[in-house]
A and B are shown apart, each in its own frame.
Chain A
Amino acid sequence: MSTINETIEAEDGATRRDFLHVAAAGMAGVGAVMAAWPFIDQMNPAADTLALASVEVDLSAIGVGEAVIIKWRGKPVFVRHRTEAEIEAARAVPMDVLVDKQPDAERVQEGHAEWLVVLGVCTHLGCVPLGTKEGDDRGDFGGWFCPCHGSHYDTAGRIRKGPAPKNLEVPTYAFVNDTTLQIG
């Protein structure tokens, strides 16, 4: 053994055998990682879960000042028909008091400022904030209030107070016609 090693030893002391060891172990490592991936990726959403269709909402049933909760991809979506006063209030807020800075106009679609559509998922740890149903606590800013750890959202669904770091997320949606909204 030793004689063989000596004969093929390179200048820096590494032998052909060392190289083979490293190359083989390296290949085995790559193989192990590749074999592990399916076992990790199987946890991600399956094809049928991803294929969840979009939902349509009839807007004519939602009066001014009212809101509804729609179930989309297993999550609640708030659709709120805002009053003039609520829109005013949201637009009057100066940017520098906001935690997650975003003007009201960016959170609604042009020409449809009365319709606020947001995911009903608190950006803190995922509870459904109160404020959609009549008589709910709407928090200090008249939007939504998350009872879990006390996050307050304003009438544009922006975070104003409490532990949540971000504004309520706005999903992709489109107005099919004057009275129909499509989420997703």
Chain B
Amino acid sequence: MAEWNAAKPKNAVAAWVEERLPILSLVNNVVGVDTPTPRNLNYWWNFGSLAGLMLVVQIISGVVLAMHYTPHTSLAFDSVERIMRDVNYGWLIRYMHANGASFFFIAVYTHIFRGLYYGSYKAPRELLWMLGVVIFLLMMATAFMGYVLPWGQMSFWGATVITNLFSAIPVVGESIVTLLWGGFSVDNPTLNRFFSLHYLLPFVIAGVVILHLWAKKISDSGNPLGIDVKSNADQIPFHPFYTIKDAFGAGVFFFVFAAFIFYMPNVLGHPDNYIPADPMVTPASIVPEWYFLPFYAILRSITFDIGIPFTDIVFIPAKLLGVLAMFASILVWLFLPWLDTSKVRSGKFRPTFRWFFLFLVIDMFVLTVVGGKKPEGIWPLVGLIGTAYYFAYFLVILPLLGKIEKTLPLPESIANPVVKAAE
């Protein structure tokens, strides 16, 4: 268990503040010199701090964009064009924000899959993991509403399709959709409330991030070996060791980020979003942002009802089932700590698990491709198989595998990572 050390600053002003508000201790104990951290963290552990940095980038660039943006259906598109053409460095700030969302998701996806491989969700880190899932859900909502703001064709039709998902809910569905829209279609009231919430939610995310870090302090960082810290020899202080390592990683990450901003700012976006929204014309195909594609593929892969075969009796119509599957695909992560029955945390020592995990990663890429294709030819079938494997991984494979897999022997300690020789 984590211990708490009071900071004793030498600087008189710092000491005066610390006595009244122990904020230095707080920082020191969570990401500072008083944060003992496993000495063997690899580069996959960089992505948490990268995600945090991207949140800061989004908030700074977003607040500035909001100074020039107008949330009205007749002005929104032009105000974004004005940001691009007339506002000093407006193009830079908007490209940072638009690509920043993508890089935020790259960081978070990597962070999540790091956790899936190294078993970061297992005791005692269940709540830490679940808070992460909450952050991810909030991010999805934020990014979705942000994408509506420039009021292009994809903004409008993406918003229409996604809000209509709620119409699948029995009985109250239609009323919920009207409530979300504030009208009879996606229109000005919708744009206004999305702007309000898009501004708010990132700060809610920041709040949950604080809880996430607090839980990290209490349960300590995990590590690639997945074994518990046994002695001081297993640990090094977070600062300066991991602050430096994180800073180095951030340099590399921002290098790639900058390459996108300056050389290919629109490759991750859809060209149709440079066409002003037209409620009378649907674009030839509606494609969400790349980071939503796997879940969009799951939504679309369900085209069958659940009911009594050969009769007209339907319990769950396809539309509702698709929506349920899409939400379930993320909510299932909340139950992961209890679905995975293996006592061994790290995938390093689970020879069979590693294969299934590899297939899951491939499956995510396949679903990403399927989500971007028109649902014709072979794609619906590929999507259905991908969806089936996705759920099988969490609901069948992990629960069973933990019971039958023969895991490799665990090393003695982090400082002495050799397998105890058989006597």
Contact = CB atoms under 8 A, between A and B. Distances in A.
Interface in B275-324: 279-282, 284-286, 300, 303, 317-319, 322
B179 interface: yes
Nearest to A146: B282
B280 A69 contact: yes
Interface string A153-176: 000000000011100000000000
Contacts of A163: 300, 303, 318-319, 322
A125 B13 CA distance: 60
B306 to A, nearest CB: 13
A45 B284 contact: no
Interface in B254-284: 279-282, 284
Contacts of A164: 319
A29 interface: no
Given A46-B182, A74-B183, A74-B279, 18 more contacts: A40-B179, A43-B179, A45-B178, A49-B184, A73-B183, A74-B187, A76-B280, A125-B161, A126-B161, A126-B163, A128-B279, A147-B284, A147-B285, A147-B374, A149-B375, A163-B303, A165-B318, A165-B319
Interface string B96-113: 000000000000000000
Nearest to B177: A126
Interface residues of A, number: 29
A17 interface: no
Contacts of A43: 179-180, 182, 193
Given A163-B303, A165-B317, A71 B184 contact: no
B164 interface: yes
A73 B185 contact: yes
B165 interface: yes
A163 B302 CA distance: 9
A150 B376 contact: yes
Given A49-B182, A127-B157, A76 B164 contact: no
B237 interface: no
B61 interface: no
A177 interface: no
B49 interface: no
17 contacts: A43-B180, A49-B183, A52-B184, A73-B183, A73-B185, A75-B184, A75-B279, A126-B164, A127-B157, A127-B160, A130-B282, A148-B286, A149-B300, A149-B375, A163-B303, A165-B317, A165-B319
A128 B286 CA distance: 11
Nearest to A137: B284
Contacts of B48: none
Nearest to B318: A163
Contacts of B180: 43
Interface string A110-150: 00000000001000111111100000000000000011111
Interface of B: 157, 160-161, 163-165, 167, 178-185, 187, 189, 193, 279-282, 284-286, 300, 303, 317-319, 322, 374-376
A165 to B, nearest CB: 5
A71 B279 contact: yes
Contact of A44 (B182, B185, B285): B182
Contacts of B375: 149-150
B279 A45 contact: no
A43 B180 CA distance: 7
B183 A45 contact: yes
Interface in A70-110: 71, 73-76
A124 B280 contact: no
A118 to B, nearest CB: 15
Contacts of B163: 126
Contacts of A49: 182-184, 187, 189
A46 B187 contact: no
A146 B322 CA distance: 18
A45 B322 contact: no
A146 B376 CA distance: 13
B282 A127 contact: yes
A149 B279 CA distance: 18
B184 A44 contact: no
A22 B418 CA distance: 62
Given A126-B164, A149-B300, A74 B282 contact: no
Interface in A4-31: none
Contact of A125 (B165, B179, B279, B374): B165
Interface in A31-69: 40, 43-46, 49, 52, 69
A74 B319 CA distance: 24
The 3 closest A-B pairs by CB, nearest first: A74-B185, A126-B164, A125-B164
A73 B178 CA distance: 13
Contacts of B318: 163, 165
Contacts of A46: 182, 189
A62 to B, nearest CB: 17
A91 B167 CA distance: 30
Which of B181, B282, B374 has the most chain A CB atoms inside 10 A of its CB?
A: B282
A161 to B, nearest CB: 10
B193 A45 contact: no
B324 to A, nearest CB: 14
Contacts of B178: 44-45
B319 A76 contact: no
Contacts of B179: 40, 43-44
A52 to B, nearest CB: 8
Contacts of A126: 160-161, 163-164, 167
